[in-house]
Amino acid sequence: MRGGDARTSGLAPGSAAPGADDGPVRAAGSDALSSDALETPAPSRGILDPGLVGTEDERETVLRPQRLSEFLGQERIKENLSVFIRAARERGEPLDHVFLLGPPGLGKTTLAGIVSRELGVDFKVTSAPALEKPKDLAGILTTVSERTVFFIDEIHRLKPAIEEMLYIAMEDYELDWIIGQGPSARTVRIPLPPFTLVGATTKAGMVSSPLVSRFGISLRFGFYEPREIILILNRSASILGVELSTGAAELLAASSRGTPRVANRLLRRMRDFAQVFGEGRVTEDVVREGLERLEVDRYGLERHDREILRSVIEKYGGGPVGAETLAISVGESVETLEDYCEPYLIQAGFLQRTPRGRVAAPLAYEHLGYRTGHADERLLF
């Protein structure tokens, strides 16, 4: 989007230049859109899929923390971010651009909203797939107020032309726009008020280096410890008006894959079971019965996860087995297997990737009740 050096001065934000040749500008990031509604759900892998965002989650936005003090877990991120926010607020300057990366369901969208509230500024939300043309981005940026927090979810899916446009906006707080065609074309540079871009991604490796380098603050989210999930569950239970026993919270935390979104979803399902089959109180017995009905085990594995492990052990002798072969065996695409099924199995120690393929780890044999045999030897080669 960088054009020549010619400039047209005197254009204020919101002028008609971005739409001069392309018709009306469509504001892809309307304030009416909620952050939950704009998250792009992954192919459903059941109730424990952290990328699953359903209508109930949209209704339960009350569970989202509104302030940094209410955000539980990710202590190092909170400590550093609170310093940056306070310094920017005291100077009356926009916060530096923030890059949030980590698996889905860990609180990236929630934290972006908290940043805007802590700064006391406007919050605009969109997602990269919604920005189809440069005029979509221009329609948002030319209407932002000073120090606005502009959040782009799944930023790794930005189109190249829009990404190029963001470079100048992030660095110089200006938009380059080309008016006309052929020899009569000229570049219009539109000034923008200083703003803060918050970009979130679940696939940091797919974000280009030039874009990453323009973020002054990078925050990497990790999975939550069981004790942190218990705190989150207790907070959510109090908001929902559900009585949650200590043993029930511990069971749910162990089955939530270290992900608050999954933990809250399981809590709501246990609330349903407690209401219908119990006395409205989520006890340890209710959770055990509920998890059994949902086919979720004590490690947070669903039936589909166990089928993958059984396929590796029974059909391929524990491995190694290639991703394409394994995907066919379980009836999934390779992309779904690698992006949504394998990560937790590998992180939890049930599956290992080797140069020769996937290999079932000893923990998988033990959990599914198989004799390990020479599984330990396989992992050495």
**Would you say 34 and 59 are in contact if contact means Cβ atoms under 8 Å apart?**
no
* In the block, residue with structure tokens 């989202």: 64
- Give the torsion through C-alpha atoms of 162, 163, 165, 167, to 10 deg: 170
Contacts for 10 with CB less than 8 Å, ≥ 6 apart: none
The residue type of 156 is: H
Side-chain half-sphere CA neighbours of 24 within 13 A: 3
Q: Which of 39, 41, 60 is nearest to 52 (CA)?
A: 41
**Would you say 14 and 142 are in contact if contact means Cβ atoms under 8 Å apart?**
yes
**Would you say 7 and 188 are in contact if contact means Cβ atoms under 8 Å apart?**
yes
Rounded-to-5 percentages of helix, strand, coil across the chain: 50, 15, 40
Residues identified as active-site: 108-109, 153, 202, 261
Q: Specify the length of the chain in residues.
A: 381
CA distances from 148 to 15, 61, 82, 122 (A): 19, 22, 17, 5
**Would you say 103 and 261 are in contact if contact means Cβ atoms under 8 Å apart?**
no
**Would you say 147 and 121 are in contact if contact means Cβ atoms under 8 Å apart?**
yes
CA separation for the pair 98, 49 (Å, rounded): 26
CA distances from 244 to 60, 146, 152, 240, 248 (A): 18, 44, 36, 11, 6
Tally of CB atoms within 10 A around 172: 12
157 secondary structure, DSSP code: G
Tokens of 178: 């080309």
Q: Which of 33, 35, 14 is nearest to 25 (CA)?
A: 14
